[in-house]
Amino acid sequence: MTQILKTITPVNGGIYVERPLATPAEAEAALARARVAQAEWRRVPVSERARLLSAAVDAFVAAGPEIAREITWQMGRPVRYTPGEVRGFEERARYMISVAEGALADVDVGPKEGFRRFIRRDPLGTVFVVAPWNYPYLTAVNAVVPALMAGNAVILKHSHQTPLCAERFAEALKNLPPGVFQHLHADHDTTAKMIGSGAVDFVAFTGSVPGGKAVEAAAAGRFVGVGLELGGKDPGYVRADADLKHAIDTLVDGAFFNSGQSCCGIERIYVHASVYDSFVEGAVELTKQYVLGDPTEEATTLGPMVRASAADFVRGQTAEAVRQGARALIDAKGFAADRPGTPYLAPQILTGVDHSMRVMTEESFGPVVGIMKVASDEEAVRLMNDSPYGLTASVFTRDVDAAIVLGDQVATGTWFLNRCDYLDPALAWTGVKDSGRGCTLSALGYDYLTRPKSFHLRLPG
């Protein structure tokens, strides 16, 4: 009997999408098609791949307004913001296409009399992309486009919360040869079997730490590459010399954009004692201006979380911190849409927090942030590093040299000065500790989607 995927929209709790899940036989057939198609696709010149994928980006952007509305209904981000995901998709895709020729070029290792020597970057084969719901296109494009540009075949398995995103990829990429790009709606068991089948050559996974462990377990013994982007508990540090208004505006947005459902969102803030009171006052004032409500309305600036259980988890973290001595500075009664047991959750700022509280150490993935007072750079660095995660971290200061010195001391994949919660496609996107392993974006991202093949040629005569 065919299983049915049912996507429940957080907007009103109704069923928004229904799709049949792939059977094991359908998954095996998709893997077989990918293997055959990739053998031909790898022979297509990079310039031709670039032409085809650029046309696909054009098609995707042309459908942008419909795509943006679908994002809102699938996962709850307000309509005033979802067009930004289309723009971000375009920026990353076009950048990765533009650098592919150089990134994939043969590496000349230098002259040696009587020999020609170079290293060629071979595609891996079939890349299996497992994408999440929170930034459904911005996460998937990081792997899908460069994997295809590198000469791999791609199979995309999107979150059950955002199945239409996989279908939008397929529609945009329909000009590619059959089998080069495919998508499947699949359950966890089928996904694990595909990873462990021996027919997948690389897995690009974005999701939770338990999800990453499940991917590694499924791939064990197959000797295939696994790229993992697993989230974070990202900190921001406000030094005494910071532009305070800019720091407040940026960090509050970093904490609450997308209802806090961002792997690189701000989840904890450390502020120098000399500006602490002013920072907290400004952050509270700004946070009270959010409009929580129906994300299909233009006035809404904070939509629902993806599901009621996720909101209840954050409510539980917050209540526990308050019982342990934290102060909640935002009165949820000021947000009429906040209703316990639903995904609609007001933003919250906590003070009086410390690292004995889960809200400062455990990923919240929701609209709550704790603010701690610190006396020095040394204390801030120690607290920023006191985490099992290391995806991004931020400092706000007018001293660029000091920012670089501090960045060298913080265990993180990306170090920001005077900004946060942003991916520049020219820079490597990577994490340390439980935030994962591997790299996407930038020219370096191609290193993980290819394997080096050395050519050692002794010339005749």
Single out the catalytic residue among 70, 229, 267, 363. Answer: 229
- Alpha carbon distance 379, 383 (integer Å): 6
- Alpha carbon distance 217, 204 (integer Å): 14
CB 4 within 8 A of CB 21: yes
- Tokens for 340, please give them: 């316990």
Residues 6+ apart with CB under 8 A from 404: none
Please confirm, yes or no, whether 229 is among the known catalytic residues: yes
Using alpha carbons only, how large is the chain's radius of gyration in Å? 23
- Alpha carbon distance 236, 1 (integer Å): 50
Dihedral sign from CA coordinates of 82, 87, 89, 92: negative
- Please give the span between the terminal C-alpha atoms of the chain, in angstroms, as a whole number: 68
CB 324 within 8 A of CB 330: no
- Give me the torsion for CA of 310, 421, 408, 370, rounded to 10°: -50
- Alpha carbon distance 371, 280 (integer Å): 8
- Tokens for 347, please give them: 């933003």
In sequence order, what are the beta bridge partners of 237? 270, 395
CB 155 within 8 A of CB 34: yes
Single out the residue of 291, 281, 290 nearest to residue 248, CA to CA.
281
Q: Which helix (H) or strand (E) element contains residue 271?
A: strand 266-272
Dihedral sign from CA coordinates of 3, 186, 135, 90: negative
In 292-376, at which residue ranges do the beta strands (DSSP E only) sit? Answer: 327-328, 348-351, 368-374
- Tokens for 138, please give them: 């911005």
Walk across the sheet containing 327-328 and list its strands.
327-328, 348-351, 368-374, 266-272, 234-238, 392-396, 414-417
DSSP type of residue 34: H
Query: Any idea which residues carry the catalytic annotation?
Result: 229
